[in-house]
Structure 1
Amino acid sequence: MSNKTKMTISDFKKFKQEGKKFSYVTAYDYTMASIINDSDVEIILVGDSLGMIMLGYKGTESVTMDDMIHHIRPVVKGAPNTWIVGDMPFGSYNVSDEEAVRNANRIIKETNCDCIKLEGGVEMLSRIQAIVRAGINVMGHIGLTPQTASSLGGFKVQGGTPESAKKLIEDAIALEKAGCFSIVLECVPSMVAKAVTEAVSIPILGIGAGPHVDCQVLVTQDMLGMYGDFKPKFVKQYAQIRKTMVEALNEFHRETLEGEFPSPEFSFNKEVDIPKLY
């Protein structure tokens, strides 16, 4: 069990300055959050990926503010020593600065998470600035942005041309100036991620962005082999939990059918003198 202490907002820049790497995974419920809290992992994202992983949606666009708050709240309770990021879902910040601040306020007030995350580069600067002015920590997200993946040509590597690589660097610089304390960079070539990382003084948190970023991000269900057969190229599976769970369930089923379970060890064995009623 880890004896970690929770990161502070100043630790993010400090870790970058010191060249200290850190890690970042997802959770959507109390039990998983408590397991991660017992590990050395510093950050949990309650991501809108819960749409697919917890709710069975085909994408993230259908996830609501109520969905996010419902899942962020137990994660905060389960992981008191871990920095918790609450994702702003599609439609919660793209209408206006005022609505973005209102929804960011709601996430912080109703869940007590440590920051919000929203997707987008220079086109989201006014939203980010407004939320930061409201006193809320903002994590940016550029590269592959799942909420708008269809407009990017689907789920594919971003920043693969000189023009798009330049745009990512410009986005990162702009997001830092707007007040983001860190930026998720998703699905970009390693050398582009390195250039983005070197262009800013805040940490770049990479998912599918190679080894040169400040922090590595993975979806917990992906890295533990829980999420069926779907495995992006950038995911290393550190365990095969789904296989273990299915095997355990099948063993329970077999023992039930054959009368092996429950044995006396798993039964209450007190002798009771039962009056004869028939």
Structure 2
Amino acid sequence: MRFNRRQVLAAMGASTLVGLPRPSFAAIELTLGDAKITTLSDGNLVLPMEFLLGNLPATDAAPVLAQYGITGDTVEPPCNLTLLQDGTNTVLFDAGSGSGFMPTAGKILDALGAVGLGADDITHVLFTHAHPDHLWGVLDDFDDPVFANASYMIGQAEWDYWTDPATVDSIGAERASFAVGAARRLAAIEDQIEFISGGQEVLPGILAHDTPGHTPGHIAFEVRHGTEAALVVGDAIGNGHLAFARPDWPSGSDQDAETGIATRLRLLDQLATDQMAMVGFHLPEGGLGRVERDGDAYRFVTEV
């Protein structure tokens, strides 16, 4: 297994960088046998702190967050999309935010261009879940598919949840727009979607795992080539601080907090035990690393 961290700024041109809050689309690479995983930046989100904390008292979380330099009323999680090239398929895990969610996100086409690819090169898009920063990038500003040559895969449970007309009324007012946006975008690509479930090898070398909690049908993907593997966890492990230091605490970003805790604890234990590489959508430094135990807690290590 070979790990490489490289900057790709030169390929983008200086004008691309003007005004960006994080002036880098660093490509982080991991070689698995004959395949290559590359994590690409879709930018970052800017969220109120309460979205992260939910009902967790800020006084409890503040000392942990301070260790990671996180203070104030907002958090700015990075958004890392995972690209797999195996010689046959060019697979993108999630589609990013597009232009309709936040101005700081939706940069995936720039990131692809920086590694010499375009949207038409993507053969498959595999969704971990259908929150805006993972799904809304499938359509452009004219509601045309961005990845015109791609097939799409999503968990059956995730599809059922977001296409249920009752979801917009049950998800809560602060996330009602998530439901409306997901339903519209999923309807637009319905003819190209294949439904999948945990335990299924969805493409050669890619195994789906049910990881509910963040959303009802969240799926993680194990990419395995030869004896080497990496787990694309999506938002099942949703940040690089509280999720590792206090995985037993509820996360305000999880739609089902208790199920999210159980899933997170299971994944962290598995990843630490197996020392499998992982990619987290909102984890730092490109999101690619591994998990180590730290007493009763865990830590994220970016050197694989």
Is the TM value for this pair above 0.5? no
Q: Please indicate the TM-score interval, normalised by the length of the shorter structure.
A: 0.3 to 0.5
TM-score (structure 2 length as normaliser): 0.30
Structure (1/2) with the larger helix percentage: 1
User: Larger relative contact order (C-alpha < 8 A, sep ≥ 6)?
Assistant: 2
Report the structure number with the largest CA radius of gyration. Answer: 1
Structure having the larger proportion of residues in strand: 2
